[in-house]
Amino acid sequence: MAIVTWLGDEDPSAQKISQYGYTFVKGEPVTVPDKDPYMGKFKAMSVFHVKGDDKGAPEPVESAEPEAVDPDAGTELAGARAAMEDAGLKWHHKSSVESLRKQLAEHEAKVAAEKAE
């Protein structure tokens, strides 16, 4: 019997795969019969480690975790904040969408009145 370990890839969602009839969990050893017709393929693929193979014992691939999602990105609040920033206005970090819109409208009215003069 041979010990085969799937080393995985950088995809954080890929933690378990099925390959040639075996289920592999990233970094966990699986017992595969030496006479398995796919043993040569396991040895040839760099994402698998076969214990006793001359490749040594590499560590599983670290997952590339994506950046944390900003809960306000893509929302009305984010849009209002971006408009305030574009206008060069300051706002309180706890301001609501409504208060930002009001402040922006007042600023735009003031700018329009200044241009009309």
The verdict on pTM exceeding 0.75 is: no
Report strand pairing: 48-50 vs 29-32. unpaired
pLDDT at 37 over 90: yes
Alpha helices in 35-87 (DSSP H): 39-44, 76-86
In angstroms, the first-to-last Cα distance of the chain is: 89
CA distances from 98 to 79, 91, 109 (A): 12, 12, 16
Q: How confident is the model at residue 55 (pLDDT cuts 50, 70, 90)?
A: low
